[in-house]
Amino acid sequence: MTISADKVVSEDIGAQELYEIQQRLLSEYQVPAGELKMDTVYLTKGTLDVDVAGLSNDEALDDLQKALADILDVPQEAVTLTVENGVVNYEIARDTYDDAVSSQNILSQNNIADLINAATESVSVSNVSNELDIRAEVTITVDVDESTLSESDIEAMEATVADFFESYNYENTNISSN
């Protein structure tokens, strides 16, 4: 079972907040510690207006992903790009709030389109727009063994985590089975 949610933040998520849900799952549902994984990433998002100069979308996105990763000094996997209605949406995942702010500041520079254009081979960026908010995304993965937990226990665990996220003002809660 994987449950993720996000919220706007102005600092790193507090350790107590994450510890609370971890302890509840470990004790209330007897989830073994090795079966519970929690990840937090901090996201900065925005859009790029681009001209792909005859490239396929995949080629253009690959070129842009490499350029953004180089400019931001992050692994390529930290840069997610999608195309929607001819506009490229970007999402940069960082380990801390401060790192996300640093990426956001770089992407807010007046000359960022020029920097991206200089780093790409055939994509031309004319405008970069940034969302002002940094979002923290928390993902909880529990390796649920249906032989030890009943379907009703699994549903109760999902509800517990969803309620926890709601109590801490998280949004966009998604639950999926592994």
pLDDT of residue 103: 97
* 12-58 pLDDT per residue, tens: 998 888 888 888 888 877 777 788 889 999 999 999 998 877 777 78
pLDDT of residue 145: 64
Fold of domain 2-40+136-176 = Alpha-Beta Plaits (3.30.70)
Catalogue the long-range contacts made by 55-61 (C-beta closer than 8 Å, 24 or more residues apart). 55/122, 55/123, 57/83, 59/122, 60/88, 60/122, 60/123, 61/88
pLDDT category of residue 164 using cuts at 50, 70 and 90: confident
Residue 104 CA to residue 37 CA, distance in Å, equals 28
pTM value surpassing 0.75: yes
For the CA atoms of 32, 164, 172, 49, the dihedral, rounded to the nearest 10 degrees, stands at: -80
Look up the CATH number of domain 42-134.
3.30.70
pLDDT value at 126 more than 70: yes
Residue 61 CA to residue 167 CA, distance in Å, equals 37
Structural domain boundaries in the chain: 2-40+136-176, 42-134
pLDDT category of residue 138 using cuts at 50, 70 and 90: very high
pLDDT value at 6 more than 80: yes
Q: What is the full DSSP assignment across 55-123?
A: --HHHHHHHHHHHHHHHHT--GGGEEEEEETTEEEEEEEESSHHHHHHHHHHHTSTTHHHHHHHH-SS-
